[in-house]
Each structure stands twice: as C-alpha cells, then as structure tokens.
Structure 1
C-alpha cells in the first residue's frame, strides 16, 4: 500500500523589501531546515516559497508548533495544507531534477541524463534522500573534496544522504569508506547509489554517531548534517580522527560559524578554509 501524504504549501515573504529575492530564498532555506527536524521528509521549491510533505500517519495538528521562523519578525509566512493521493515520487523527481556541474570537474546526474566527459561523473537516484548536489551544502562539500588529495584516506561520510560525497571520495582514491545515515530510506538509497557507481570500498550503515564507539579511526571525516547534531557529536568525530586528519563540516549558516568554530578549536582542531554559497557555509579543519 502506498503512503498518503499531507502537503503544506508555504508562501514566504520577507518584511524588508530590499534584497527581496535573496531574503525570500534565505527564509525558505531556514523553513526547510526547521521542517527537516520534524517528520517532513520531502521538499519542493516553488515560485512563492516551499511545499513540504509528511506521511499522513506521522502527521499531527501540532506539527508546526516548534517551527520558529513562522513567528519571525523578518518574514510573513502563510500556508495551506491538503491531503495528497499516493504520489509517484520518482516521476515527480524526474520532472524536476537537472544535472549538476561543479566547477566543470564533477558532474552529478540521474540515470536518465546523458553522460558527459566530466572527470568525475556521478549517477545519483535520490528519490526522497537529501544530497543531489543541488543544495548549497552538498555543492560546497564537493568543492572541498575536489581540491583535496584523498588517495588512500580511510573516510567517514556521516549523514551520507545519497552517499554522493562517499562516492566522490572513492572516485578520488579514498578507501575504505564508511557511510552512515540514521534514515532507513537514505541507508537503502546509499547502497543503491554506491552499486550504481561501481564503488567497491564503501560500506553503508544505518544509525547515528553511537555507531562510532568501536575505536574506529579515520583520515577524513565528512559531516554534512545540521548545527545541533554537529555540536552534539563533535567530540565523537574528533575522537575518531587520526592525527593530521581532516574534518569537513557543513549543514549550517554563516552566523553559526562562531559556535561551530569554538567547538572545533577547543577540541584541538585547526581551521583551514571556508566555502560560502548564499548564506550556507562549509568549513575545513585539520587535527
């Protein structure tokens, strides 16, 4: 039996008319980040803002109670919601997914797109998993990896989503690679995508940072999650990082850098570099 979904359609309007489009984009991104902390599992950018979808069986009338941006002084956000008949998500996704080109070196595409001559050609079928390369955080993490020599590095992709970053790391010579995600859909999708890209050194696990208590050590840890989870698990990452190892972090905003940086530096990490795209950032640290 296919799941029935509740669809919310949010209209996001910044109260400050200056830089309206950029502010509207920022408001939509914050909204998606907050909704992502709840049972909402799929998001579509719209002309007016965002549509978000939650399985009916996981929905309750208080689902928006903790969404802080709905009460923000900076935005006026209106919404409607409706029950949606079972959706063919793959079909919806195919209609809306365009190939991604990162710096002319890495091409991220779906199975139904033509292959290009990009140095790193990654085929992803995300279905409802996060990590197609469209989102700024994934794009910037790809940029970090493209700049690095990861040959022979034992690697962890934490919160792997579609495993896109683990796949790129293997293409660039990293091995072995552990990919972990708490979401069952992401876990299964990561296995599919690793196989689809003929990866031989990626092991996918379902769970959270509690899986990292077996004394594992890595030369490279990639964590594209969100601010609160990163802060909560930072010590675990540091404990797992070899001396001279690299930690790549994303999933948070420019204004979150001070608290992230403080957490990293007090644990002995040294800041190396930042990428910024819109208001999202991706940081590189070395142990």
Structure 2
C-alpha cells in the first residue's frame, strides 16, 4: 500500500491545532520534528540517550507530518487540510512559514524506518542491548551483549522499566539460580538472567506472539537451552521453586499474583517487580508486605518504579 506524507513547516504555537486537523482528516498519527529538541538536556546514566541527528530537524520552527492513504479522495482531503490550517489565522495563531510539501511513502519503507533510531545501548554496568542488524564490538572483556530484533511488538529493551529490571537482575542473580520471568515479552530479562549465570529460566507469557518472540531471541543469543518459554497466565499452576522471580508488568497485574510469587520462591528468594507508575508505588509495596515479603529496595527511573522484595 502507498501512503502520502503531508509535511507542514510551522511553529510550536500551531502544533496542537494542526495536529487536531490532521487527526480529523483521517491521519492515524502525527510526527513532530521540533528543532528545540536538539537543545534539551537529559540525564544519561548508562549512555542510553541516543544522539539526535540535526539533519533530521528544521533550522527553525517545527515540521509536522501526517500520513494519508493514497486513494481517489486524496486531493480533496489535502485541499481541506490546507484550508483548515489557513483558517487558523482567523484566531491569530502564528503559522510561521506555513509551507506544505507532499511525498509518497511505501508501506515497506515506513514499517522499517524506525530501525534507524534503534542503536546499541549500555543499560547497566555489564549489559549492552544491541539490535541484531548492528555490528557491535564488545568494549570490555566482562561486557554482556544481548541482541534483539523486537519488530514492532515488544520494544527495544531500553524502556526504563526494562532497564530497572536488568539492573536488579545484575545485582541479585547468582550462578546456578533458577529464575521465573513472568510476562516475558521479548524474553530480554530471561536472556539477561542466562548471561548473568542463571542455570535455568522459566519464561511465561499469555500472548502467543510473545512466546514465539522470546523463543526466537533466546536462540539468537544462544541461550535457548537454559530458557524454557511457555504460554501461561502469570504463575497459575506453576510449582517450580525459584531463587529469583522477575515481573516487568503493570502494577495491577503484579497485585494479582504476589501470593503465588511468594509461594514459588525459595526461602530468601528475591522478587523483582517493575512497570510500576509512581502513583501505584505504595499500593504495590503494601500488597507485597501483606503477602509476607520484606522490601529491600525501591528504585526509580524517570516516572517508573521498581520494587525489590525478599521472601524471609
């Protein structure tokens, strides 16, 4: 399928009203390329900030892009968009250059364009995540490299909740440990556990696509013999006794199986939870304590919380 990229060079003031016009015209999403993003300073603890390319941004102002399917109504749709944008002048909204360009985009190109933003990222002291298509060379002898080809479904493994989980695994996983990965997604936490020395990992997810993705990524990283991936609802009917359980899922889901996690852990076992928003921190903490856990650590990255607990 072919798409038309409609791009307007405008101002920050006009972003919201023009985005609304794009959405009303049938665009499923809007891309904002703001030159001021180049000057934003962000915290960079482990080198996870990807350097932006100035060539992708305008010299001044903002580029707003919308994608419209190429069909017999395209000409009318574009004309209506132009008119609606010009009407914003009646409300004293500064449109800046207000120049519009059209270009054709193949769906195949669009589906893979995101790859240029996915680069190797060092997310902890020892672990670096890199896409399978990058030729990444190990920086130090003890560096552990995870290769991922996430597609569009499970992300790149560099979200703050994943980073918090891997940093905790790096701290608590010991040689010959048994790990349970609940809601495994791409399998990145299971792979990290295997590389850190765990003997056996049981990875569970309710989503069939996640199960296939985790199995594939385990093979790519040559740890498939250590990782057993299975479609399962949380820890239902799981009787394995683990040294560490890790769950990077929503707070509401964590509170559905905290008692099962307690039962599945050996004495002194560690429960690593992530995916918790700030507003849910106390709720999850209370739930873990009521289930019998001791709280060891509460860590935060951006707006996300990780709670590490231990079965006495």
TM-score, length of structure 2 as denominator length? 0.63
Partner SS for 2:266 = strand
Out of 102, 124, 128, which is 1:107 matched to? 128
How far off its partner does 1:216 sit?
A: 2.0
Out of 2, 5, 9, which is 2:29 matched to? 9
| Number of residues of Structure 1 aligned to a counterpart in Structure 2 | 217
**Alpha-carbon contact 2:123-2:158 (below 8 Å) kept:** no
**Alpha-carbon contact 1:219-1:246 (below 8 Å) kept:** yes
Corresponding residue number in structure 2 for 1:139: 163
- CA–CA separation in structure 1 for the residues paired with 2:110 and 2:30: 20
Out of 195, 201, 204, which is 2:226 matched to? 201
Runs (4+) of structure 1 exceeding 6 A deviation are none
**Alpha-carbon contact 1:161-1:187 (below 8 Å) kept:** yes
- CA–CA separation in structure 1 for the residues paired with 2:27 and 2:292: 45
- CA–CA separation in structure 2 for the residues paired with 1:7 and 1:216: 48
How far off its partner does 1:184 sit?
A: 1.7
- CA–CA separation in structure 1 for the residues paired with 2:261 and 2:63: 39
- CA–CA separation in structure 1 for the residues paired with 2:27 and 2:260: 37
Answering whether residue 183 of structure 2 is matched by residue 183 of structure 1, we say: no
How far off its partner does 1:105 sit?
A: 1.9
- CA–CA separation in structure 1 for the residues paired with 2:173 and 2:209: 31
- Structure 1, residues 14-38: CA drift from partner, whole Å, max 9, x if none? xxxxxxx99xxxxxxxxxxxxxxxx
Answering whether residue 237 of structure 2 is matched by residue 213 of structure 1, we say: yes
- CA–CA separation in structure 2 for the residues paired with 1:138 and 1:195: 20
Show the 5 A alignment for 1:183-262: 183-199=207-223, 200-209=225-234, 212-262=236-286
Out of 286, 294, 297, which is 1:270 matched to? 294
**Alpha-carbon contact 2:240-2:264 (below 8 Å) kept:** yes
**Alpha-carbon contact 1:93-1:127 (below 8 Å) kept:** no
RMSD: 2.9
- CA–CA separation in structure 1 for the residues paired with 2:302 and 2:222: 33
Answering whether residue 119 of structure 2 is matched by residue 94 of structure 1, we say: no
- CA–CA separation in structure 1 for the residues paired with 2:189 and 2:111: 22
**Alpha-carbon contact 1:178-1:202 (below 8 Å) kept:** yes
Corresponding residue number in structure 1 for 2:14: none
- Structure 1, residues 110-163: CA drift from partner, whole Å, max 9, x if none? 111123235111101111332522211001111111222421111011111111
**Alpha-carbon contact 2:173-2:244 (below 8 Å) kept:** no
How far off its partner does 1:164 sit?
A: 0.7
- Residues 1:264 and 1:148: Cα distance change in structure 2 (over 3 Å): same
Partner SS for 1:256 = helix
- Residues 1:143 and 1:48: Cα distance change in structure 2 (over 3 Å): farther
- CA–CA separation in structure 2 for the residues paired with 1:254 and 1:9: 28
Structure 2 residue ranges without an equivalent (≥5): 1-25, 33-39, 42-61, 67-104
- Residues 1:112 and 1:157: Cα distance change in structure 2 (over 3 Å): same
- CA–CA separation in structure 1 for the residues paired with 2:211 and 2:226: 16
Corresponding residue number in structure 2 for 1:26: none
How far off its partner does 1:275 sit?
A: 1.8
